[in-house]
Structure 1
Amino acid sequence: MAAHDTGSDSPHWEQQYLSLMRRIWTEGDERVDRTGVGTRAIFGTQLRFDLSGNRVPLLTTKRVFWKAAAREMLWFLTGNTNIRPLLQQGVTIWSDWPLKKYREATGEDIAQDAFEQRVVDDVDFAARWGELGPVYGKQWVDWPTYEPDGQGGFRQGNGINQVQQVVDSLRSSPGSRRHIIEGWNVAELDGMALPPCHKTYQFCVADGKLTGILYQRSCDVALGLPFNLFGAALLTRMLAHQAGLEPGELVWMGGDTHLYLNHTELVEAQLEREPAGQPRLEIARKPDTIFDYRFEDFAVEDYAPQGVLRAPVAV
């Protein structure tokens, strides 16, 4: 399927996503998964999207809440692993996991909105129950290291900021094959509320353009993938911006690529829709570092999606 919407006779770029969804739903291997909900899945998939001309892969066959995805990406870049800063901005996409942990630990059948409000209002409560463990951002900007303490043991060393390393290498050695941000820290997986799904990012410079690859070990195509595509495109755009490069492509690669069996209504409704339009992502300013972007720096234009399609999150 062509990745570029280059003319009226070319398939719309979003048809790739819809074709993947249709293939999983009709041909996928049905299995019981970790959540107990059950999925249909295929293994080993790829999508490609043109990012030139400020294009951004925001689905038009349903509304994608790109503002939440942008706020999440900026939160990743802070290295913060507590949901409180997200909830203070009205972003609730990470609430399910700490909420489940709280309910199981206390036996209190608290409503989600009440739990979220307690996290916002009570710093001590947030510190105990809003923490996700060393997820994404911690690994991206503060990967832990250890060094000999001189007494036969080890002490914690300086953390590794992978994101800054990639910015530096894009500037100083654009031809490198090591522009990589990795989230899969095997030693710390058990401490994470959810091991990283979008685990590996790699970047390539060619002809002054930056292309990014995202490898996702596990992908909920209906709910997660639309967010992941926008987030990866945004990260690629920010890196290109900082390195003085033009955006090239976003290449998305999936391992276990699945649809949940309780997403029937969403899947069938979305597959009946026809994509249209070409959203664009504008970045208003170039801050001193990639860590200094603000949400107000981003604007999406020409985005006229069809209506919201909802489905439950499998936790």
Structure 2
Amino acid sequence: MHAFTSDHHVLPLPSGHRFPVSKYRLLRERVARDLPQVRLIPAPPASEGELALAHEPRWISAVLEGTTTAAEQREIGFPWTPSMAERSRRSVGATIAAARQALAEGVAANLAGGTHHAYAHKGAGFCVFNDVAVAARLMQAEWLRRQAQGLQVLVIDLDVHQGNGTASIFARDPSVFTLSMHGARNFPFRKEASDLDVELPDGCRDETYLEALDAALVEAECRLAAQPPGLAFYLAGADPHEGDRLGRLKLSADGLAERDRRVLEWLRLRRIPVALSMAGGYGHDIEVTVALQATTIELAWQSWQVWGRACRAGDTDPAAAVEQSGR
């Protein structure tokens, strides 16, 4: 399985800043140590033309040329630096690369990404460019060069915060279905309308969360029955965890792993390739967040193995592949 990285481009932040930028390096190092079967590849930067598939030219040039205003930087939560701009481009590039790889092999990942608060015209909430929006539009454009009909995309956003930027970008685009399951009382406090929003109460625990997830996947499948997705983006945020500083939910580590397992199996059984992004994770103990996200990558690798066995066997029934895998 391929996983794409962008942490070599360091985001310089003031001392005491609450964004845990070190987690991306720590996650890469942990995957390299514990999951050597996952191929780690530095991501290329997204081009200006690629960014323009989801963002307004003024915003792209402001970020790349360093002309963002003080108010815009406050809304993002980062000061502008050349490294911030380059890292943002490469985080988008990582999701683009993961999406291409997923279409080829079934599963791939970005060890960062999930920057779902970025709108077409601005950044917000630690998000500069919207990696999933850019990658979705680019995959659809590339798909049309090879296929007679368009590519339906499904976004499964399980970060604890609503994917407001993604919902806004695709608000009038029926070719992208946005599902966001998030804390009702958490940021952003003014939410956009996704195609399917599932709001959860503070303190939500494993059983309630997983029941809501199962119901959301059933509803999404019903609403997409006429045009099933050919690609999914899964934002596997670690911030619903009980140890997260910003999450306000109470999922256990086992509950989060079961969440990932259910999503990945649901997609695999329906033959929907998936590109994962790590999205949020702000644990009181950053090593706990890294361990949670490493588990997500391990479960993705396990799903990728099943895809590979099915493809080598020429299996047209994904359920048979799952049964043979012993899962």
> Do these two structures clear the TM 0.5 threshold for a shared fold by scoring above it?
no
Q: How does the TM-score come out when normalised to structure 2?
A: 0.30
Structure with the higher strand share, 1 or 2: 1
- Higher radius of gyration, 1 or 2: 1
